[in-house]
Amino acid sequence: MPSVCIYFQVHQPCRLRRYSFFDVGQVHDYEDAAENRRILDRVAEKCYLPAGALLLRLIEEYGGAFRVAFSLSGVALDQIEQRRPDVLEGFQRLSATGCVEFINETDGHSLAFLSSPREFREQVLRHRERVRSLFGQEGRTFRHTELIYSNALAAAAEKMGYRAILAEGTEKILGRRSPNLVYYPAGCRKLKLLLRNYRLSDDVAFRFSYRNWAEYPLTAAKYAHWLHRIRREEAVVNLFMDYETLGEHQWRETGIFDFLRALPGEILRHSDFCFRTPAEAAEAYEAAGEIDCPGFISWADEERDTTAWLGNAMQQDAARKLYRLETAVRKRKDERLLRTWRMLQTSDHFYYMCTKWFSDGDVHRYFNPYESPYEAYINYMNILDDFSQSLKKTSKGETR
């Protein structure tokens, strides 16, 4: 029986205040709290609350036949817990249905696996515990920040007890094979690999309201017809996208909520099809083969690699200097300093420094609060300089 697996990423970075050279040594609060609150409130009203209520109605209407999955970054959870408990309660209601899986990731939405195995493991375990305590679920599926993936990452996830891992279904690793099957990562025999169908996912996430698209307007019936053409019995069509697609990136006026409201009925109209969560899909199907991915891939940009975060000298310099502070941070045994260091690891800070202004330029500009990547780099490095000085002062017994 073919399955449809819908997964939503929920993430809101902790945006940094504008921080000049003259603030170094003077200002030690790095968060732009007002901007973070403003954006969270906007996204909560446009996406999290209405989309969550709609998903809950669909689960109830279809008697549990409709199922979805979420990964809430620890950075988003921090803000939601502190500032929007109504949003958290909505996710908890979804969890209580038994039809929603909550996936584990790095707690800081970080690139830690690329720089510090110890920090990576600690963040994953922290996120696992938060999912357990907030939603009553034991994590069975793992996804790395921005769907970053490699053989080594899969091996680490399997060692930590996960049974499924998510990645981008790029031709780099698939060749001519289909993304709509379950695979084994190279070297793994317990962990199953689910690959994002990026064409079908991006039809909703990016092209839904694009009037010059040949398939505009996209209706639920048309989309379901495309899915129904995938006839292989063991097929799993993985539709992975940002949750903010619903109401924020694609505004209510585009018809995105009407599309979602009609989609389960149109898909289930074909009796051979069902919905499954990632963990359910991994358990239900045998692996069709092995996928070898010696280098890193991701779901970002046309390259589907890590260059959106580490592709230029500024990004590499910032990441190198950040992770060089790990030993000093840990020696302080100060939870406040550790929390700040982890906040500075969030991948968005490096994304803002990206200089890829060609085919993917519009995407980077949309998500970038800075006038230029160079401004983002200078702002970040000023903060990192102050943080580094603070570590030196606390090591001498001084207080900030």
What gap in Å lies between CA 192 and CA 250, rounded to an integer? 32
What gap in Å lies between CA 338 and CA 20, rounded to an integer? 23
Q: What is the pLDDT of residue 364?
A: 47
Confidence of residue 400 (pLDDT cuts 50, 70, 90): very low
pTM of the model: 0.94
CATH number of 3-291: 3.20.110.20
Neighbours of 385 (CB within 10 A): 16
Q: For 219-265, how does the pLDDT look when each residue is reduced to its tens digit (9 = 90+)?
A: 999 999 999 999 888 999 999 999 999 999 999 999 999 999 999 99
Helix (H) and strand (E) counts in the chain: 18, 12
What gap in Å lies between CA 372 and CA 260, rounded to an integer? 36
Q: For 347-383, how does the pLDDT look when each residue is reduced to its tens digit (9 = 90+)?
A: 999 999 999 864 444 544 556 789 999 999 999 999 9
Q: Is residue 234 annotated as part of the catalytic site, yes or no?
A: no
Q: Which of 229, 285, 223, 287 is nearest to 1 (CA)?
A: 285
What gap in Å lies between CA 392 and CA 181, rounded to an integer? 52
Q: What percent of the chain has pLDDT over 70?
A: 96
Tokens describing residue 142: 């793992």
What are the sequence ranges of the domains in the chain?
Answer: 3-291, 308-395
What gap in Å lies between CA 202 and CA 239, rounded to an integer? 9
Q: Cα–Cα distances in Å, from 86 out to 76, 138, 218?
A: 14, 23, 32
User: How confident is the model over 53-63, as a mean pLDDT?
Assistant: 98
Q: For 135-194, how does the pLDDT look when each residue is reduced to its tens digit (9 = 90+)?
A: 999 999 999 999 999 999 999 999 999 999 999 999 999 999 999 999 999 999 999 999
| Alpha-carbon 279 to chain mean position | 17
Choice among 101, 119, 146, 158 that is catalytic? 146
Question: With contact defined as beta carbons under 8 Å apart, do 338 and 369 qualify?
Answer: no
